[in-house]
Amino acid sequence: MMRGIALAAGGVKGAAHLALLEKTGDVFDVVTGSSIGSIVGALYALYSDPRMVREITFSIMKRHLQDLKKTESEGTWRGMFQRSLFKADLLFSVLKEVFGKKKFSDCRKKLGVVVFDTENMESLLVTEGFLIDAVVASSSVPGYFEPIWLGGDPVLDGGVLSPTPVSQARELGADFVVASTFNRKKDGKFKNHFEMFFVMDRWKEIILEQEELSRADFVVVHNVSESWNEFEKYHEIYRKALEDLKGVKWPW
């Protein structure tokens, strides 16, 4: 039986994925991910070592991704007149030292990175080429980052249509799929027009994800309430997830 793990999009909430992988150990043959799930998933597929994945991901969050907090004041005003707040170079500079020239063919596990094709308005499953290209594209949050050209099309964050890519794990041959996701609350409150877009996106994401999770064999919903870009809380999220997972009985 081929076990698969589908890692959800969610920014810093992805620290909970790290806790799950450490609790289960190296038991998955197939891994798919959107956004932060693609980063964690690609590292897991490359090294098959949950502790190493945790150390590298923490390093990324600690040294680089707090820059994404620049979304208020000056950043918000810039966002009104530009297609995005940040250039793609920021993500490439963050991830190039992690993935370098590694390719999907270098992975020890079957890996699928999900991106959103902005021209054809559909999710795409990337399974070949350079890891950094696919992971950067899958992590390009709409509005924050400009689209990345991949395979001749401009693509964005895989979480746009596939917040937890369960179907893609089955497409890659997984017989039993575990979904690792978060409690996405239907919060209708927002402070400004920028937050309004995220509130609407969250509602859409919940509806899409409910359908996708129904296709999983086992679902782990991490009790994480932090905003996706509160990267200074990565360790707190990880520790809480570890504690919550103590009582989980794994289906094998």
- How many whole angstroms separate alpha carbon 166 and alpha carbon 52? 24
- How many whole angstroms separate alpha carbon 67 and alpha carbon 251? 39
Q: Position 165: which residue type?
A: P
Question: 93 an active-site residue?
Answer: no
The DSSP-derived string for 194-230 is HHHHHHHHHHHHHHHHHHHHTT-SEEEEE---S-TT-
- Which residue in 157, 162, 167, 180 is the catalytic one? 157
3-state SS class at 179? strand
Structure tokens belonging to residue 89: 């170079």
The β-bridge relationship of strands 110-117 and 153-157 is antiparallel
- How many whole angstroms separate alpha carbon 52 and alpha carbon 224? 23
Contacts of 94 (CB under 8 A, 6+ apart): 60, 64, 65
Count of residues making up the chain: 252
- Which residue in 35, 123, 138, 140 is the catalytic one? 35
Question: 140 an active-site residue?
Answer: no
Structure tokens belonging to residue 41: 């998933």
Catalytic residues: 35, 157
